[in-house]
Structure 1
Amino acid sequence: MRSSRSVLAVALASALVLAACGGAGETPANSGAQKGEPAPGVTDTEVVIGTHQPLTGPAAPGYSRISVGAKAVYDYVNDSGGINGRKITYKVEDDGYNPTKTVEVVKKLVLQDKVFAIVGGLGTPTHSKVLDYLTGEGVPDVLVSSGALLWNSPEKHPNTFGYQLDYTREGKIQGQYIKDNFAGKKVGLLVQGDDVGTDTQKGLDQFIKDQIVERKTYDPANTDVTPQISALQAAGAEVVVCECIPAFMALTILTTLKIGYKPQLVVSSIGADPATLTGLVEQFAKQGGAQVSGGALLTGIIGTRYLPSVRGGDDAWTTFFKGIHDKYIPQEAFTDTLVYGMVQAYTFSQALKAAGKDLTRQKLLDAMSSGELKGPGLTPFAYGKDDHAGYTGALVFRIEADGSVKTLQEAKTTDTQTGEVKSYSEKRPTPEEVKLVG
């Protein structure tokens, strides 16, 4: 019988295959419509929106369910009469987390499907390749599924708005927590080799630059992270911060087990969904014939999040989204990743409602900039005329042995510069107070 480490080595190799197969009078903001004509994708009864998502490829494990959660919310909205009398048609294109494919499918959505807006296009390396195109075409590009700072550039890209907590803010919150709770410990970084990693380090370095002993990047096209993890081990890193998408977070967990390395893992929100990670760790290991307990391997991992957790049963928003889940997609696991898509769709629907019956692209952008979009996140959006960043803060949690999550630090907010990381305690509005329909 093979040893557990050799079996895991085969599992990691098999995970490469799995990850590759898979399991973001008008001004130019109404480009494509002449004065007096409706915006593209809009009729009296329908508004057509589109997105590019990794339904296959290295980011598919976990992320492929985001659009499933979003569609459930749109189905709920449509069954309740739509927004301002219009049903939402949601077109999802698979780009495989491949930037070349992203360009192809986004142009299809704009030129062939004539969508009103691109909503939640996913990925830093992917969406960055269509940013200028969407700006030039005047297509609203809202709630981008990435925390890169690129999306917050109102002067250069007035149609683009972020959604999730940006990587620099998150890095600051993580950095301060590590400085306060792991003082003197050696820290290693494993980050994606693009703006994900660059922006994260801008935040971390404000607090723990002197503690960092090794920095390593990974390429989503190469699922062997053994060299990187081994280098962190060799450097003596006692705490490892992983700014990793779910598949690579799972690979990191299995790799540390394979080489006998036991650092304290600190995980960013993009890969910190316990349910998704548990499933991926067990699935990847099973591919190589290993039987592991994903829950046991996740015990003690520290993560950050800015949305309500599916483990927060007393949270009004969790209860609300669980009701939509049970009615429209009961066959799907109710995970934080699924809720990510649900919150995104709810937020877009809220902006669409605020844009009014006489819908134009500019009115949607005005609604996004109004500062009136609230809930369901744990902290507010940064949205305003001169700020297109998404959520502004997060809490810190730890995954417990029984699979629950324990809050270690309540939500804090900060900026993308050198401002203070400060506590945030304002009461969130309930679903009843931010009602879309009914």
Structure 2
Amino acid sequence: MYVAMYLIQSAVILALFFLVYQAGLRRTTFYRHNRYFLLGALILSAVLPLLPVPSMQAGNTVAIFNYLEGGNNAGAPALPGQVHGTGASTVLFLAWLPLAIVVYCLVALFLLVRQLVQVRRIFSLAGLGTAFFRGRYRYLQIKGLPAPFSFGRTVYYDPEAHDEATLQHILDHETAHVAQGHTFDLLFAAFYCSIFWINPFSYLTRRAMQLNLEFLADEAALSLAGSPTAYQYSLLKQAATRNQASLIHHFSQSFIKNRIVMMNQKPSVTAQRLRYALVLPALALGIGLISATKAPETRYAENSLKSLNDHRKDSSIIERRFPEGKSGYARQISRNCLYPANARNENKWGVVEVEYTVQPDGSITDAKTVKNETGAESLGNELLRQVKLLPGFKADNNAKAETVKLSALFFLDGVSKKDNSIKTDVTIVAYAN
């Protein structure tokens, strides 16, 4: 469950950055600022859900009430075959979740390997041409190369495929990519898209990054071109040839219309830099709202009105005096009961039982832990917290003070031992960290 919640939180954060970029920054000519903004969007969306902010900690707990007649309480692994209705769907999802995570990781691994193959193919071109250096930059002449491109500190081109003016524009453009280190951006975006392949905003952000890098290279090349019009004609000449590798910069890359539009756009005025000053607080507010949203740390399973085992002596008072009866009692506890993080980290599990007294006026008193096999005080405190969260029982002046017990099996998947003989009112299942 943690992995699933991490991916969701990361996707929401990246979506927020991308939408802000599209709405307020995309049309400005502050290309360098936009470059850092988009890189920061990828980095922060991957890092923020991992920070030790309580609401950013993806929950991985599931609370399951035992609604089976006869009081049969199986350990967590046996529940999928026993619970029916809505609960069965929830537990079945949890049972398949590890397999889904494995499949997700295999797809990510395949995509990463594919990116490495692309890099290897690019480096393999080194033996096909003639290389020379200009300062720190390397130029590789390869006859028959479909389209010029750059990767790392090398510009790849076919000197016989272009006239002299066009070739100079190409070299200026690709050298700008090399000089500004744009390959790092593309490699990082490719790595991010491979890991977060299920998030559509990763691909949208990557495309926005590619286009912005073309703007940066065009800006540098135009400053060297004798005529902006001639440079644009050179761009149109090469538009028909496309290199499909996604890890390289090539002069004839798509986005032709957008690039020409931005070349002819008036430079953004200095006052427009205030957009960045406004964007940052807006992003901080949005991320704060995401952080303030409670992660769904608990899932519960219900089955009609069979919420607690009928054989328990406590069930009558719960049915008679608790709001909405046994089903309301079940919902109240299962929606709030968590598996404390410190207990998960220390692999603490077992049965906990608390006891409390219901007074004639409906108030709850004398709550205490009467059994704790886990060795973790936090698990007993968590069950006591559930008692304190109860809204109270209906008043009955003719009744006497009655004692109620609530027992729970805290089951840590992958650590706890299966024991079908354990009988409790509730099972709290979590995945070991």
TM class by shorter-chain length?
under 0.3
TM-score by length of 1: 0.21
More helix as a share of residues: 2
TM-score by length of 2: 0.21
